A and B are shown apart, each in its own frame.
Chain A
């Protein structure tokens, strides 16, 4: 803390000369002296950061003034001469330092050394991808666009989606070394003031060297540091972020990453897929319900297998008993080892698949899945039924649309398996009670995580387990405390008695 304060003071007292000597240590720093008629102009910049073409065509060529009567007396005169839009005159040294390292030109004239003209001709698009498919959160129906690494492009994409003066984008710089631009995006007049302040305060409190990703901000500002659950929705999809912002949440973007986080989120937000809204509500509800069932299936099946086969043989349906025993007949391990072995195999496959290049990864997935699975059964290391259970529960954990959440679910599974191996069904229930107690206590920006189940909010249930018709989900969720509770009005259709042809 003390050290950080010291550095901060140092930076503030840096003079322009010191700044220049520090910059001159780098090879890519250049200074050129130019003359506009009589006046000497000193231009300092980092050659690696500026757009050279723009510099030649718009800046340097305009300095060669033909009109000999023109006198440059102040920076204002120079500013008028140039056909560039992003220029500012400042005395603030910290701003100069900042902008210099972001690729702006710093222009001085000899008559007045106290002021500086900052010209933005940086090449911010260099090295960034043009391609913005949302690869990791794919959806079949609906837009496929996602955010990119460049924050200005992202804001552009967002503004094009929400075309309203209410959309407010606040910017702060975070990171003592990276000076990353972090944007707080919300809807003025909709989002709760209290939540906006919380976000502002928490972001302002951050003291970190480099902001690698928004997930880092997520981890630093979250309400509970020790939970495996993600407390803020993290996504690269434009439509998803737009939906959260419009619902009254606050989104946080940071430069250099396509992922944005938004909060306050609830547990249910993580099982929402944009497709739920692009499909008819009946289909949407069905698929969402399947997804939520998948979560329970994924967490509990392997552990129930262990519990039942180790402790509770009584509960097996009589017709399943034969197949179960037959499949386990030659397996030399107790069920717990069998399950752990298979679960770890699946985790290894997943981890290897994620590290390898796409094409190799796919092949490995198939080869590994089929060959290892078959061989393990043939070698009597595991039973067929378990293979199916584990594969299905892995499959259902991937149905969760938010990647972070599906990771959480996979980790939770192991806890339950181990509990089941010690205490059987009692262990599973014990784990479930602990899990519920933990979820009840979680908060995201001060909002309960398990709302609308706890505290119970009947109105918000319409868009939780199921996705009701748009007629019923026109209100913003109460727990976000929106200042404007209505998203859109619903006109009641007049029921007219018509004859058959009215159809």
Chain B
């Protein structure tokens, strides 16, 4: 009896194994095979709008033969058809799983990026990608990249975000800005310079799904300082000449020095009073101060900086010069930031997400009302504190 039961259990066990194996094979029928060297893997896609149609320009590197990239361009009425149309034009299936960068052309970003964005969000194969906007046609950008290494654009963005002061953006920030209320989308802007070199050309800020305003690289760095955790980058500062001149009169030796300097500045190219501070790390804090109808945004920034190549007229080892330099730089940064904030306010865009801060501190929230009545009247006060960490080797 017992052995009967045991054998019954055993056969049941075997049957369960067979059934699970059958399920495995059934499941395997549903997994599409995509062997890596048989795919048209693309890293960069450009989206444009042409004659009312969506066009996609795809740069796909041919790793199997000599790394030459090819460009395919198709047009369609919707993003899904776009993808299948791309397949019709290439020898292998075009897959989006390895996409790194999306370029939105001028026409398309002005018309609204929602349709493509929503399609991308729903594709599980697409990982963390970056989006950029261009003032040119995306197609031109892609064609310009044809001779470059396959991941050129992706690397370019990565390094400039890490070191050169471009604010960090990716699909996560984009989606949260797109779907979130109280904040606007911002994306890096790329274009070609006069020598046909690809450059990062500041930051494009959207209103809703449409691009509205492009700020310069310098402004973009200020934006990064007040917005990102990573604050590394360079900010160039021109010391006001008037104050400098006053310093000159102080001492004879200084006069002598300045004479020398004055002589040199005639010969040397560039502005003698202009120098760059290298931002190392720091902290920012944005708070909202409400007083009746008046809303003030307080921005506090503490920044550790490294100075190299400060003007020769400044003797950093002297306390007064040191204080003067520090205070001036703090003032300049605060003033520039305020100017940027006013510019954003005038253009009715809110990439900082002041709306989110406001929403968190008030019971009623109406996005439309906020941007129509409250945001344009907002006041800004920026305070910066610089900590000079490294000044270079002295004489």
- Chain A residues in contact with chain B, CB under 8 A? 308-311, 313-314, 316, 318-319, 321-322, 324-326, 328-329, 331, 334-335, 422-424, 426-427, 430
A-B contact pairs, 8 of them (CB 8 A): A313-B39, A314-B98, A314-B127, A318-B98, A318-B154, A325-B63, A328-B36, A424-B31
Could you tell me the distance in whole angstroms from the C-beta of B141 to the nearest C-beta in chain A? 19
The residues in B between 4 and 50 inclusive whose CB is less than 8 angstroms from any CB of A are: 24-25, 27-28, 31, 33-37, 39, 41, 43
What residue of chain A has the Cβ atom nearest to residue B100's Cβ?
A318
Q: How many residues of B contact A (CB 8 A)?
A: 28
Check B36–A334 contact: CB distance below 8 A.
no
Which of A319, A331, A423 has the most chain B CB atoms closer than 10 A to its own CB?
Answer: A423
Could you tell me the distance in whole angstroms from the C-beta of A150 to the nearest C-beta in chain B? 42
Could you tell me the distance in whole angstroms from the C-beta of A382 to the nearest C-beta in chain B? 13
Check B25–A318 contact: CB distance below 8 A.
no
What separation, in Å, do the CA atoms of A311 and B34 have in the docked complex? 5
Could you tell me the distance in whole angstroms from the C-beta of B63 to the nearest C-beta in chain A? 4
Check A334–B154 contact: CB distance below 8 A.
no
Could you tell me the distance in whole angstroms from the C-beta of A452 to the nearest C-beta in chain B? 29
Extra inter-chain contacts (12) besides given A313-B98, A328-B37, A426-B31, CB under 8 Å: A314-B127, A318-B154, A325-B63, A328-B36, A329-B63, A331-B37, A335-B35, A335-B36, A423-B27, A423-B28, A424-B31, A426-B27
What separation, in Å, do the CA atoms of A311 and B36 have in the docked complex? 8
What residue of chain A has the Cβ atom nearest to residue B124's Cβ?
A314
- CB-CB under 8 A for A314 and B33, given A325-B63, A423-B28: no
Residues of B within 8 A of A334 (CB): 33, 35
Q: Is B125 located at the chain interface by the 8 A CB criterion?
A: yes
Could you tell me the distance in whole angstroms from the C-beta of A431 to the nearest C-beta in chain B? 10
Check A318–B151 contact: CB distance below 8 A.
yes
Could you tell me the distance in whole angstroms from the C-beta of A422 to the nearest C-beta in chain B? 4
- Contact with A309, one of B36, B61, B127 (Cβ below 8 angstroms): B36
- Contact with A326, one of B64, B126, B127 (Cβ below 8 angstroms): B64
Residues of B within 8 A of A309 (CB): 35-36
Q: Is B190 located at the chain interface by the 8 A CB criterion?
A: no
Could you tell me the distance in whole angstroms from the C-beta of A135 to the nearest C-beta in chain B? 41
Residues of B within 8 A of A426 (CB): 27, 31
Q: Is B97 located at the chain interface by the 8 A CB criterion?
A: yes
Residues of A within 8 A of B28 (CB): 422-423, 427
Check B67–A430 contact: CB distance below 8 A.
no
What separation, in Å, do the CA atoms of A388 and B37 have in the docked complex? 19
In the A-B complex, list the 6 residue pairs whose CB atoms are closest, starting with the nearest. Answer: A314-B97, A325-B63, A329-B64, A422-B28, A328-B37, A309-B36
- Contact with A322, one of B31, B33, B67 (Cβ below 8 angstroms): B67
What separation, in Å, do the CA atoms of A375 and B67 have in the docked complex? 25
Check B35–A321 contact: CB distance below 8 A.
no
Residue interface bits B53-93, CB-to-A below 8 A is 1, else 0: 00000000101110100000000000000000000000000
Residues of B within 8 A of A424 (CB): 31
- CB-CB under 8 A for A313 and B95, given A328-B37, A334-B35: yes
Residue interface bits B81-119, CB-to-A below 8 A is 1, else 0: 000000000000001011010000000000000000000
What separation, in Å, do the CA atoms of A308 and B34 have in the docked complex? 9
Residues of A within 8 A of B98 (CB): 313-314, 316, 318, 321
Which of A309, A316, A318, A335 has the most chain B CB atoms closer than 10 A to its own CB?
Answer: A318
